Amino acid sequence: MSLSGSLLTRPPAVRQRAQGGWLLVSLAALVAALVLSLAVGSRALNPAEVLDVLLGSGTAEARAIVLDLRLGRTVAAMIAGAGLAVAGAVIQGHTRNPLADPGLLGVTSGAAVAVVLAIFLLGITNPVGYLWFCLLGAALGTILVTAVGLAGARRRDASPASLVLAGAAINALLGAVTGVLLLLDSATLDVYRFWTVGSLAGGQESAVLVVTAPLVLAGILLAVAHAPALDSLALGDDAAKSLGRNPLRARLTGLTAVTLLVGAAVASAGSLGFVGLVAPHVMRRVTGPAHRWLLPQCALAGAVFVLIADVLGRLVVHPAELPVGVVLGIVGAPAFVLIVVRYKKTRGARR
Amino acid sequence: MSPATGSVPAIRVLGLSARLRPRHLIVIGVGSVLAALVAVISAGVGDYQMSPARVVAVLLGHGTPMEHLVISTIRLPRVLLGLVVGAALGVSGAIVQATARNALASPDLLGVTAGASVGAVLVLVVGGSGAAASGLLRSVGVPVAALIGGTVAAGLVLLLLRRTGADGLRPLLVGIGVSAFLSGIVSWLMVVATIDDAARANIWLTGTLNGRSWPEVWSATAALAVIAVPLVVLAPRLLTLRLGTDVARGLGLATGPTQAMLLMAAVVLAGATTAVAGPIGFVALVVPHLARLATGSAGPPLAASAVIGALLLVCADLFARTAFAPIQIPTGAVTAFVGAPFLIWLLIRNRQGVLR
């Protein structure tokens, strides 16, 4: 039974206070993960030194390590994690599919391949230039996913798995495209790998992060703004219409939000998977299905996940480094399998 | 299941009987001819161009030593490997689809190729310089490790499937999850490997027939031959299994052991092909459907799948070598270009929610 189960029987004021409490817990977890991310690495610092640097003082060496090396990747991890987690929750709400995730459905791959094609065909080298292609790829991917998801939802016995399988096919196709491009232009191998595997090691240029952070914030605000519509969409389009919502407008808002979120996330950290799947599932146990609490919690939880994954990647093969996309795959895939295996039990005899 | 009037054409010899299905035989015959044709054309294509007639002449013994060298050491093994790998993948996919009674099942979607990749990369990385191109470790160790890895991965997926059941699309999701996990492990191994080992592993991972030679051809053919013998015996039981486990049991078939043996055969075939040619995806998914459409049968036919698989892969290899000449793209990339849209089309077209 979920934690929210006991909360849902309490009066609304108590529920709001409880959810507010949980938000504070998540915020504290985020701060802890942030400090951890700044402290861990080939030259480990202790939290006191990190706090000193953040507050303005601290040794020159510590300042160099924290500010030049680790701050960029930490901020990028937070942006990517928050963006992908909220995007995942929004896609899950719109397609009524609990297995939806921007990585699994091929949206992040679409954004990454758009950038790779831009580099290869148009020779774009400006990081802000990449961003437009990221957004374009994310938009195309989201439109495709929504179309397939809606086509599936209209069939009476549609399975959520079709969407994921279509996403797997798209991922395979885009992987083949990237593979071929790699062969045709092997000079920029590392650049391609960054976009398609997802890594924070490149030393994110602050020019990119300065642009992507507001985009992710805008996406989160947009998503939270249409949270009530998202709640009613869970009942089906007809029920939502009878409750006075406009499903089409809600879908367009959701589409815009997901495009902004995924585009900015991929531009910050490359293509990461499973964050958008696992974070909403975990947070739903705390907040229940109400999106106005779920979405902010997802943002915080997603940031924490990616930060922890990055820290793990730095620890397990010390002093080398596992790309964060690989760690998320190794940890997230079993979580995905667990969700799939247990899904039938909670839905009863539907199948 | 023939009607009592005996109007179904059949061969009866010494107490054994088999149904004659003309359309099957036509498909197999035409497919074989086409495959041989494309193979001959493919053997003539490359840096040292030869016309198909010239290729046939060389094969029959009348050719310059240079042509002999090119054909017998470079082109012929590659083309033969394409035929054998295509046939093995086609049969493997047909077995899995028929046993799981799931139109979208295939060994690569069920984690066999990912598991084989883990096994092979593990040997390449841990073996170090001992796994160099000419070592015993490379020619025996890597394929065996890939086979073991594929079997372990398939076992893991099947264990998980006990909880979800084999129907529907959920087994495929489990397979995708397991494949993603194993791909993460492969990436991990590549990160901790030395540059040389990582480069070797990368070459292996590209799913291509490029650079393969006679040892690979022999091991793939051996795997196919070894599996083909019990498969001839098991094939009628495959037909019975398609009626559903309850009916099959009612007809006296031991469903558990039969399914296990069939899946084992499929896994060995898929693992062996991945072991020699790297991960080539989507062939095992697409070919049984094409074979079924061509022969008009109710379930995926085994022999026709083998022939059409060989044809498909040899065509894909030819395309991979010539499309972006002089660069050779991986054969796996070509099959992904064809297979991924096919999978999406299957998903969209599927009205009953999952099965054929």
Please give the residue of chain B at the shortest CA–CA distance from A180.
B329
A329–chain B nearest CA distance, Å: 6
- Interface check for B176 against chain A (CB to CB < 8 A): the answer is yes
Q: Which residues of A touch B353 (CB under 8 A)?
A: 155, 157-159
pLDDT given at position A5: 56
Q: Which of residues 12-71 of B touch A (CB under 8 A)?
A: none
Which of B169, B183, B333 is closest, CB to CB, to A329? B183
CA distance A195 to chain B (A): 15
Nearest Cβ partner for A158 among B164, B344, B353: B353
- d(C-alpha A183, C-alpha B118), whole Å: 23
| Contacting B residues, span 324-343, partner chain A, CB-CB under 8 Å | 324, 327, 329-330, 332-334, 336-337, 339-341, 343
Judge whether A148 is closer than 8 Å to chain B, CB to CB: yes
B207: tokens are: 């799913």
Q: What is the pLDDT of residue A2?
A: 52
pTM for this model (two decimals): 0.83
Look at residue A81 in the predicted model and tell me its pLDDT.
94
Query: CA of A170 to nearest chain B CA: how many angstroms apart?
Result: 7
On the question of pLDDT at B308 being above 90, the answer is yes
User: Of B101, B33, B46, B115, which is closest to residue B78 (Cα–Cα)?
Assistant: B46
State the CB neighbour count (10 A cutoff) for residue A280.
29
Q: Do A159 and B348 touch (CB under 8 A)?
A: no
Would you give the end-to-end CA distance of chain A in angstroms? 22
Q: What is the pLDDT of residues B172-228, one digit of tens each?
A: 788 888 988 998 898 888 878 777 777 777 777 777 777 777 888 888 888 888 888
Max distance between CA atoms of chain A, in angstroms, equals 64
- Residues of chain B contacting A320 with CB distance shorter than 8 Å: 191-192
- Segment 132-161 of chain B within 8 Å of chain A by CB: 160
The H or E element that residue B10 is part of is: strand B10-13
The mean predicted confidence, pLDDT, of chain B is: 82
Q: Whats the size of chain B, residue-wise?
A: 356
Residue whose C-alpha is closest to residue A287's, from A89, A4, A1, A2: A4
CB distance A172–B185 less than 8 Å? Answer: no
- Whether the pLDDT of residue B1 is over 60: the answer is no
Nearest CA in chain A to B203: A183
CB contact under 8 A, A159 and B351: no
| Per-residue tokens: A177 | 């495209």
Reference A104, options A333, A266, A274, A262; nearest CA is: A274
**Chain centre to alpha carbon of residue B155:** 18
pLDDT at A154: 62
Which among B187, B329, B343 is the nearest to A169, CB-wise? B343
Q: What is the mean pLDDT of the segment spanning B309-317?
A: 93
Q: How far is the C-alpha of A148 from the C-alpha of A94, rounded, in Å?
A: 12
Residue B305 predicted with pLDDT over 90: yes
* pLDDT 10s digits, B72-86: 888 888 899 999 999
Among residues 175-194 of chain A, which lie with CB inside 8 Å of chain B?
Answer: 175-176, 179-180, 183-184
Please list, in sequence order, all residues whose beta carbon lies within 8 angstroms of the beta carbon of residue B70, skipping any fewer than 6 positions away.
Answer: B46, B48, B50
Cβ atoms A322, A316 nearer than 8 A? yes
Selecting from A165, A166, A183 the residue whose C-beta is nearest the C-beta of B327 gives A183
Q: Evaluate whether B153 touches B178 at the Cβ level (below 8 Å).
A: yes
Residue B198 contacts A where some CB pair is shorter than 8 Å: no
From first to last of its 351 residues, chain A has per-residue pLDDT tens of 455 555 556 677 777 888 888 899 999 999 999 888 888 877 777 878 787 777 777 777 777 777 777 888 889 999 999 999 999 999 888 888 888 888 888 888 888 888 888 888 887 777 777 788 888 998 888 888 777 766 666 665 456 677 777 788 888 888 888 777 777 766 656 666 667 677 777 655 777 888 889 999 999 999 999 999 988 888 888 888 888 888 888 888 988 999 999 999 988 888 888 999 999 999 988 888 889 899 999 999 999 999 999 999 888 887 778 888 889 999 999 998 888 888 754 443 333
Distance CA B108, CA B355 (A): 18
Q: What is the mean pLDDT of residues B128-135?
A: 56
Interface with chain B: mutation pick from A144, A148, A154, A165, highest number of B CBs within 10 Å: A165
Dist CA A240 CA A245 (whole Å) = 5
Does the CB of A99 have a partner CB in chain B at under 8 Å? Answer: yes
Question: Across the interface, do A341 and B332 touch by the CB < 8 Å criterion?
Answer: no
Question: What is the chain B residue with the closest CA to A145?
Answer: B344
Complex ipTM, two decimals? 0.81
Q: What are phi and psi of B260, to 5 degrees?
A: -60, -45
Burial of A333 (0-12, 13-18, 19+ CB in 10 A): buried
What's the pLDDT at B356?
40
Q: Per-residue pLDDT tens for B285-304?
A: 899 999 988 888 888 888 89
Distance from the Cα of residue B70 to its chain's centroid: 27
The secondary structure of A50-80, three-state, reads HHHHHHCCCCHHHHHHHHHHHHHHHHHHHHH
* Residue B317 CB partners (closer than 8 Å, separation 6+): B42, B78, B79, B82, B209, B331, B334
The Cα angle at residue A21 between residues A17 and A26, in degrees rounded to 5: 150
B191 interfacial to chain A (CB closer than 8 Å): yes
Interface of A with B in 271-310 (CB under 8 A): 273-274
Q: In this complex, is the C-beta atom of A320 within 8 Å of any C-beta atom belonging to chain B? A: yes
